[in-house]
Amino acid sequence: MTQVYFNCSDPNHILMDSRGTTVSSLSEACAHALRFVQAAMMTPNSEDWRGWELRVTDELGNELFVIPFAAALGRLH
């Protein structure tokens, strides 16, 4: 089990995850991160999520991976 943190940022904001989440694998962390991004974008508000990204780090602050919110939007047709 590993503690991971989901930190969101855009050029003007940083939202730090101070609690973290315990996961059993990197694939579980990735699935959680994708659900997090999708839930944030589905929440009614006026935020333009295209410049945001989710940085997932371990308990030592090492970056595991980054998910740009724009990637979760899918491709435009």
pLDDT at residue 74, as a whole number: 63
Distances (CA, A) of 70 to 7, 10, 53, 58, 74: 16, 12, 8, 23, 7
Let me know: does 34 contact 54? Beta carbons within 8 Å: no
Q: Tell me the whole-structure pTM to 2 decimals.
A: 0.85
Please tell me which residue, 57 or 75, carries the higher pLDDT value.
Answer: 57
Helix (H), strand (E) at residue 43: none
pLDDT at residue 71, as a whole number: 83
Q: What is the pLDDT of residues 14-52, one digit of tens each?
A: 999 999 999 999 999 999 999 999 888 888 888 788 899
